[in-house]
Structure formats: structure tokens, C-alpha cells
Amino acid sequence: MTPTTGYLNDLEQDALTELVNIGVSRAAASLRKMIGHQVLLSVPALEIVSRQVAATLIREREGGDLVAVRQDFEGAFSGRALLIFPEANSLALVRAVTGDELDEAGVLEMEDEALSETGNVVLYGCLATMANMLQRPLEMSLPAVVRGDGQVLFELSDIDPSSTTGVVLFLYINFSVSGRDIRGYIAMLMDLPSIEALKVLIAEFLERIVGADGS
């Protein structure tokens, strides 16, 4: 875990990482059912960085074009969740979720729909688990498929232009699929007001489950 001094203390970071870990683990189990191959996950990384740096973190690892399924969420805290792959992996994922039954033209035709559905299962599964554990409902937008580099995926200009300069809570997990040439990232971005709201919810969550003797 990277220190995010000033925003979240150690136990808050620990709790948030564990919440996300439980969320993505469940989501991975759902994805496993869709594609019939084991889904391998890294431990979540959590950083508080500028949006610019978040984009760079992905771009440094992925030189080529990316494709992502994007879902915005709103509620007690708001932000954006992304399932990101190198563009070159996209069709392999579509083949895997459609059970290798489609020909090349069929795969191309189904691409965006299959990506949206996969993204929805993974991102919704992850966020729903987090929302349940924090006991706050989250509204999710419909999944949208976006293509481009890290910069394009993370820009929130359609939401609030001033937010592009602020810091974000950036969470990401690497995933890969056993026996298939598929790998990518699950990422989540939240801006400053949401980090503050999340701190309160995490404190309540800790109070509920850890109670007074949690030191």
C-alpha cells in the first residue's frame, strides 16, 4: 500500500483496500462463471494522486490503445469505475464470454455489447459489495465502452471541468485470465469530496464491526 498521508489513516486505507478486495474477489468469481477460465487478481493498490498521474500510471504500463467499460456511480460517494484492457485483448475477451461460438464477423458485431455486459458484471458486482458493506446505496450509470489512451479514460470533463486539476483516490487491480491472452485492470476514481464522504462511511463501518476494542 502506498502511503496517502493526510487523507486516510492506516486503518482507513486498510479497510478500504479490504472492502475493494472483497468486492473484486466476488466480481472475479462472477467473471469466472461467464468465461469458464480462472481469473487471477492482484492485491488492490490504492493511491491518492492527481488525475494526470492516475492516467500516467496506466499509460506507463500500457503503451498501446486501450478499451474500457466505464460506469459512473453516485450516492453517498461518487466516482467512476473502469474495466480496462489493451485494445489487442478485447476480441479475445469477447470470444471467451461468448463461449467461442461466434465466427470472426459475429465476434466483431458483438464486441461492444459483450464488453458492456462483462464490464457491468464485474464493476457492478464490485461496487454493490462495497455499497452493501458500507450500508449505503449507490446508483450506477449504464456501462459505456470507450477507447483511447489512459488520458481519455480518466478525464471527467463531462462531469466537472474544474475537477481535472484536483486529486483523486485511484484504486486499481491487475487481472488476467488463466489459459487466455486476456489481462487488464479494474480501476476506480473518486474525487476529493467523495474521499471525505468515504472517510465518514469507513469510520462508521469500523465502528460497527470493530467497535470500541479495535485498537
Partner 1 sequence: MTTLLIVDDSKLARIVLGKAVAALQPEWTRVEAGNADEALAQIADGGVDLAILDFNMPGRNGLDLAEALRAAHPAMPIALATANVQDEIIARARDADVSFIAKPVTEDSVRGFLSGAALKLRSSRA
The answer for residues whose C-beta is within 8 angstroms of residue 12's C-beta and 6 or more apart is: 199, 202, 203, 206
Provide the minimum distance between the beta carbon of 130 and partner 1 in the complex, in angstroms, as a whole number.
11
Determine, following the binding rule CB under 8 A, whether residue 59 of this chain makes contact with partner 1.
no
Left (φ > 0), alpha (ψ -120 to 50) or beta: where does 211 sit?
A: left
Euclidean distance between CA atoms 202 and 199, whole angstroms = 5
Stretch that binds partner 1, among 36-44, 55-63, 83-91, 98-106 (CB under 8 A): 36-44
Determine, following the binding rule CB under 8 A, whether residue 78 of this chain makes contact with partner 1.
no
At 165, the amino acid letter reads T
Looking at beta carbons only, is 15 or 169 nearer to partner 1? 15
Determine, following the binding rule CB under 8 A, whether residue 203 of this chain makes contact with partner 1.
no
| Closest by CA position to 93, among listed 42, 43, 44, 37 | 37
Backbone angles phi, psi at 65, to 5 degrees: -75, 150
Backbone angles phi, psi at 157, to 5 degrees: -60, -25
Stretch that binds partner 1, among 7-15, 67-75, 134-142, 152-160 (CB under 8 A): 7-15
Determine, following the binding rule CB under 8 A, whether residue 123 of this chain makes contact with partner 1.
no
Determine, following the binding rule CB under 8 A, whether residue 29 of this chain makes contact with partner 1.
yes
Stretch that binds partner 1, among 25-33, 64-72, 98-106, 191-199 (CB under 8 A): 25-33
DSSP 141: P
| Given 9, 22, 174, 203, the residue binding partner 1 (CB under 8 A) | 22
Euclidean distance between CA atoms 53 and 175, whole angstroms = 21
Q: Which residues bind partner 1 (CB under 8 A)?
A: 10-11, 14-15, 17-18, 21-23, 25-26, 28-29, 32, 38-39, 41, 43, 129, 133, 178, 206, 209-211, 214
